[in-house]
Homo-oligomer: A and B are copies of this chain.
Amino acid sequence: MKKTGRPVIPRKTIYRLSIYLRCLARLRENSIGTVSSEALAKAAGVKPTQLRKDLAYFGTFGTRGLGYDVTELSQKIANELGTSSLQPVILVGVGNLGMALLSYRGFEKEGFEIIAAFDAAPTRKRDKEIKQPILSMDSMPAFIREHGVKMAILSVPAAAAQAVSNQMIESGVTGILNFSPIVLAVPEDVMVNNVNLAIELENLSYFIQD
């Protein structure tokens, strides 16, 4: 599972592999055992050739004339994505969005568990019960180290984002899912995925002009 030595798979391909995995899961639920690249591609919203090229980056799993075994392909993709091993995740910044993400069921379904949350005001009254503990920011570095946390969801206000990010990285985090609307400056061995909801809407508004 080392990055080193294996062919570099484009980011976009990795992203689509996740989509394929979800489509395959639905096929399995419907007890469908085999699928062609054409059918799977259609479900995933891509062209059949692209699906095949994506898979070709890390192996050949199909049977010519027949298609792909749904279960086998699921496993191969999951294995490639490294999702097979459950990753512990922390969430920092328990505001509106942070609360919602804590109660969002979509993560655990995919093998991620948010094991703890951190906030500058951990005891502040919140509208909702959640199962994860909300801890103080002071305790974050030790927690990250003790639990070997590599991934964090960052949902603090813009003004705090860079400082919190620095602190997390120093303690051992190497992957950040960043919901704050600023571009984080990080060392190059740290990966940041930005999710900016306002930009997504703005983007949409541009393309619907007719």
Binding site for B on A (CB under 8 A): 1-3, 11, 14-15, 18-19, 22-23, 43-45, 81-83, 87, 89, 96-97, 99-101, 103-107, 109-110, 112, 127-128, 150-151, 153, 174-177, 181-183, 185, 189, 191, 193, 195-210
Contacts and interface: CB of A to CB of B under 8 A. Distances in A.
Contacts of A205: 81-83, 87, 112, 151, 175
30 contacts: A14-B206, A15-B203, A18-B196, A18-B203, A22-B199, A45-B183, A81-B205, A81-B206, A83-B202, A87-B201, A87-B205, A89-B201, A96-B103, A96-B104, A96-B105, A104-B197, A106-B181, A106-B198, A107-B197, A107-B201, A110-B202, A112-B202, A127-B128, A151-B205, A151-B208, A153-B201, A174-B208, A174-B210, A175-B207, A177-B200
Contacts of A15: 199, 203
A130 to B, nearest CB: 10
Given A43-B183, A100-B100, A205-B81, A109 B200 contact: no
Q: How many copies does the complex hold?
A: 2
Given A106-B197, A191-B207, A193-B203, 14 more contacts: A3-B210, A14-B207, A18-B203, A22-B182, A44-B183, A81-B202, A81-B206, A83-B202, A96-B103, A96-B104, A107-B201, A127-B128, A189-B210, A195-B197
Contacts of A112: 198, 201-202, 205
A124 B128 CA distance: 15
Given A127-B127, A207-B175, A202 B18 contact: yes
